[in-house]
Amino acid sequence: MEEIIVGIDVGTTKVCTLVGRVEDGGVLRIMGVGIEPSQGIQKGVIIDLDAATQAIARSVERAESSSGLEITSALVSMAGAHVSSINSRGVVSVTGDVIDEFDIARALDSARAVAIPHNREVIHVVQRGYTVDGQDGIRAPLGMHGYRLEIETHIVTASTATVENLYQCVSAAGVAVQQFVLNPLASAEVVLRDSERKMGVVVCDIGGGTTDMAIYVEGKVWHTIVLPVGGNHVTGDIAHGLRLSVEQAEEIKLQHGYAIRADVGAEDYFAIRPFGEEEMVDINRQEVAHIIEARVAEIFEIALQEIKRSGYDGLLPAGMVLTGGASALPGIRDLASEVLGMPVRIAQPENLNGMVDQLYSPAYSTGVGLLRWALTEQENDRDARFGRRSKRRKSKIDLSGAKDWMKRLLP
């Protein structure tokens, strides 16, 4: 059966709604695209409900008219500095002869029982792996013999109020939220290779208002981080430094921007006309690069600090995979590699079918990632139902399902 999935990436600079169809053999075909400038969103967080609702509604309408399909529900991306994550372990004793769904649900429940303040909400419980009777590295414990089941999880939480606001905007735009997906986890679905996840890698999506990171170790997500800084801050610095409007600074960045000052000639000038002025003004390209380098290097320095804090900096042989709109800045790969001291590659969606021309850009990794995430979950569900689990596909669970399990277990 062919199925329609919809993803809405609510970014700081654009809202991107994608309609995908899962064709035979699990191939994803893009049926509709709706890309609209964002409004009412800052650093990944909604600051104006009406403006954000309208931007989302416009993007959804566009995707509807380009696909000819009505959109009623969607996966929605989430970012912002209010997001945080922890790793938690759950332990239970097995009730029957072999490990069944309920044992796993109880183990998950016990992992979730970590102190979560009342003003925070669980967004993801990613299953990282199991230990049965002290034997670790178990991937699929269902049906195994054992007495003691342990589960390793990565739990992502977000501020309830901020989640509610996003929920309200998407609902007001006429779409039911199927699930929220953290930005870097969606992007990772698109840009990471399995071999990189196994080796140890960090995916880094630099957008307009946020830098979203997820660290993968031994194939599983180990740590997630959202930093409230992105390409807009670079633009702001240029506007400030050169006393220009933000619009003009953005244009300069896109047309003349370079991430490494030393690579730009000292005599390299270009001319612009500041708004409201008669005369053209010459601008030194090295000076622009200087401003850009300072901010972008700072972003990677903060990123490195966060990676170190997670305790895994020495163990990421696959380095960083960079994506998001701001990764299109020329020279950013070399700068990142220098600051981080690790290999860096830039990635974007690839091998898509259907209406895809504009999607081959690092700005759309999260949007396409939402569809891939949905696809992965479907495969998980199918595999789980047949009691047979694929290698990396089983690392996530559908939260709604987990909730149901837990409800059944409550007295």
Q: Are 91 and 145 in contact (CB under 8 A)?
A: no
Q: Which residue is nearest to ligand ATP (CB)?
A: 325
Question: Considering only CA atoms, which of 93, 104, 197, 179 is closest in space to residue 387?
Answer: 104
Question: Considering only CA atoms, which of 145, 398, 87 is closest in space to residue 406?
Answer: 398
List the end-to-end C-alpha distance of the chain, in Å, as a whole number. Answer: 38
Question: From start to end of 344-390, where are the E strands?
Answer: 344-346, 353-354
Piece of 21-29, 247-255, 384-392, 403-411 that binds ligand ATP (CB under 6 A):
247-255
352-391 binders of ligand ATP (CB under 6 A):
363
CA distance 276 to 254: 21
Note whether 326 binds ligand ATP by CB under 6 A: yes
Residue 358 Cβ vs Mg ion, minimum distance, rounded to whole Å: 15
Piece of 11-19, 254-262, 305-313, 340-348 that binds Mg ion (CB under 5 A):
11-19
Residue 252 Cβ vs ligand ATP, minimum distance, rounded to whole Å: 10
Note whether 253 binds ligand ATP by CB under 6 A: yes
Candidate list 7, 11, 20, 146; residue touching Mg ion; CB under 5 A: 11
The whole-angstrom distance between residue 14's C-alpha and the CA centroid of its chain comes to: 15
Piece of 187-195, 224-232, 272-280, 397-405 that binds ligand ATP (CB under 6 A):
224-232
Residue 171 Cβ vs ligand ATP, minimum distance, rounded to whole Å: 20
56-85 binders of ligand ATP (CB under 6 A):
79
Residue 221 belongs to what H/E stretch? strand 220-227
Question: Considering only CA atoms, which of 341, 345, 323 is closest in space to residue 333?
Answer: 345
341-380 binders of Mg ion (CB under 5 A):
366
- How far CA 139 is from CA of 59, 101, 218, 388, in Å, comes to 40, 14, 12, 11
Note whether 207 binds ligand ATP by CB under 6 A: yes
Residue 321 Cβ vs ligand ATP, minimum distance, rounded to whole Å: 14
- Which does residue 141 bind out of Mg ion, ligand ATP, none, counting CB within 5 to 8 angstroms by kind? none
Note whether 17 binds ligand ATP by CB under 6 A: no
Candidate list 207, 230, 231, 257; residue touching Mg ion; CB under 5 A: 207
Note whether 14 binds ligand ATP by CB under 6 A: yes
Note whether 44 binds Mg ion by CB under 5 A: no
Residue 371 Cβ vs ligand ATP, minimum distance, rounded to whole Å: 16
Judged by DSSP in three states, 41 sits in strand
Q: Number of residues in contact with ligand ATP, rule: CB under 6 A?
A: 25
Note whether 34 binds Mg ion by CB under 5 A: no
Q: Which amino acid is at 358?
A: Q
CA distance 273 to 391: 57
Task: Kindly tell me which of 225 and 289 has the beta carbon lying closer to Mg ion.
Answer: 225
Note whether 90 binds ligand ATP by CB under 6 A: no
Alpha helices in 119-245 (DSSP H): 160-172, 183-191, 194-199, 231-242
Binding mask 35-54 for ligand ATP (x = CB under 6 A): ---x-----x----------
Judged by DSSP in three states, 311 sits in coil
Per-residue tokens: 206:
């630099």
CA distance 226 to 82: 8
- Which does residue 231 bind out of ligand ATP, Mg ion, none, counting CB within 5 to 8 angstroms by kind? ligand ATP
Q: Are 149 and 103 in contact (CB under 8 A)?
A: yes
Beta-ladder partners of 32: 19
Per-residue tokens: 144:
């195994």
Q: Which residues bind Mg ion (CB under 5 A)?
A: 11, 207, 366
Q: Which residues bind ligand ATP (CB under 6 A)?
A: 11-14, 38, 44, 79, 207-210, 230-232, 235, 250, 253-254, 257, 324-326, 328-329, 363
